[in-house]
Amino acid sequence: MKYKSQKVAYWAFALSMLLIILQITYGFIQAFAHLGYDGLHEWIPFNTSMAVHKNLLVVWILSGFMGAAYYIIPDESDNELYKPILAYIQLGALAVVGVIAVVGFHFNWWEGRKFLEIPRELDFLVVVDVLLFLFVILMTLWKGKQRTTTAMILSVGLLAAALLYLPGMIWFDNHALDSFFRWWVVHLWVEGVWELIMGGILAYLLIKLTGVDREVIEKWLYVIVGLTFLSGILGTGHHYYFTGAPSYWLIVGGIFSALEPLAFMGMALFAINMYNKGEKRHPNKVAVKWTLGTAIVSFAGAGLLGLAHTIPQVNLYTHGTFVTAMHGHLAFWGAYGMIVFAIITYVMPNVTGRKIYNNALGNYAFWISLIGMLGMVTAFGAMGVAQVTLERRLGLDFMTVQQELHSHFWVLVITASIFTTGILLYVWNFMKYGLPTDEAIGMEDEFKTI
């Protein structure tokens, strides 16, 4: 690393590691409940495990993005982070709010709104926390010696993500209106501004890992984020097909959702091309794997598996079934989980000074988690198709069909165990790096042989 303050990133990443393990734990509780093993029902009913599973996902990914920004922005703007103490306070507060929210979910303290279950009172603390984060990042940029495209795209993405949280805080008496604006947050995050953040991190990693000229990488970054918004904004319409909104969303949502894979395809081709152009001499090969992996898997999960059910004629039957879970898992893992793992893998040797990149543990973690997740997605896909056929096409009763899905859930549990093994190996490797140290300042040059 170049600057002492970049060490903050480590703590954000450590929080992500802790939370992903908790998220997975609650995922297992859910899978077993589906299989009829609901011994925890008294203390952790299904809606609690669901709220925890989804919110921890959002928080660990946001924490990963924050860590990425705390590392990237000082480097790109050639400047120490503005008042690093504020960054530590902000991360600590995020962890505290997260813990309070998760505990609250066990005591019926929440809002019944998928992905945005954090109760309104805590929402205000989230807003203050994110404002503090943005203050540190934007002041660092402002005081910096340079403002690169990569840093700007990343910061605009983070700022827009914060602003888009606000429509989700308005109360509507009409449930359909509430649903309408809930997607302004959730969709415009994951299929909009989060992609800016992902694109910014991806561009940074490609610049560092391939050695390709910054101007070339940043030019294509504009094209890709342009494609994202071109398709993604009106693509929001695929959430409005059957939720009380006018039928014109079926046409507009259908057409623009069909274009959404283009942005992800652009991202995948971009990463592969830059890698091919590059010199391939950077020693952190595992970081290269995660970087190319996120670009390719997000195309498969967010792009193609999304397209598989956003066609309105298909969605009429798949809406509200496990087909959605199939898409959701690979999309979140490919696009956002893997980009966070990519930046962590790149940053760890730089902040700790330990050169244990490209070790067996790191490689196994990548492949085992990827294979496990592909297996999970296959299990979700199979159970989704079975559910759609039996319940939606043949009209069998909900619970009758659920019991027919048990074999698929066992496959899910097995493949999720493989995935978890990969994640645990990754976390173990993370711990082996040890704590960040000032001695690592300036060692980055030693690591980059290109």
CB of 427 to another protein, least distance (A): 27
CA dihedral 34, 37, 39, 42 (to 10 degrees): 20
CB of 145 to another protein, least distance (A): 20
d(CA 5, CA 12): 13
CB of 23 to another protein, least distance (A): 15
d(CA 69, CA 73): 5
d(CA 361, CA 356): 9
CB of 239 to another protein, least distance (A): 8
Amino acid (one-letter) located at 322: F
CA dihedral 340, 258, 180, 159 (to 10 degrees): 40
Helices (H), 243-393: 248-277, 285-298, 305-310, 312-318, 322-331, 338-352, 360-387
CB of 50 to another protein, least distance (A): 4
> Which of 118, 292 has the CB closer to another protein?
118
> Which of 222, 410 has the CB closer to another protein?
222
Contact in structure between 221 and 203 (CB atoms under 8 Å): yes
CB of 254 to another protein, least distance (A): 12
Hey, how many other C-beta atoms are within 10 angstroms of the C-beta on 85? 11
CB of 178 to another protein, least distance (A): 8
Crossing angle of the two packed helices 360-387 and 285-298, in degrees rounded to 10: 10
> Which of 143, 393 has the CB closer to another protein?
393
Assign residue 37 a region (left: φ > 0; alpha: ψ between -120 and 50; beta: otherwise). beta
Contact in structure between 325 and 288 (CB atoms under 8 Å): no
For 120, the token pair is 């309104």
> Which of 49, 420 has the CB closer to another protein?
49
Please tell me whether residue 397 adopts helix, strand or coil conformation.
coil
> Which of 306, 353 has the CB closer to another protein?
306
> Which of 244, 442 has the CB closer to another protein?
244
> Which of 324, 378 has the CB closer to another protein?
324
d(CA 242, CA 109): 29
Please report the DSSP string for 166-226 in residue order: GGGG---SSHHHHHHHHHHHHHHIIIIIHHHHHHHHHHHHHHHHH---HHHHHHHHHHHHH
> Which of 253, 436 has the CB closer to another protein?
253
> Which of 193, 288 has the CB closer to another protein?
193
For 14, the token pair is 């450590």
Contact in structure between 263 and 232 (CB atoms under 8 Å): yes
> Which of 40, 162 has the CB closer to another protein?
40
Hey, how many other C-beta atoms are within 10 angstroms of the C-beta on 299? 23
CB of 280 to another protein, least distance (A): 25
CB of 310 to another protein, least distance (A): 13
CB of 316 to another protein, least distance (A): 5
CB of 162 to another protein, least distance (A): 17
> Which of 115, 364 has the CB closer to another protein?
115
Q: Is 432 exposed, middle or buried (0-12, 13-18, 19+ CB in 10 A)?
A: middle
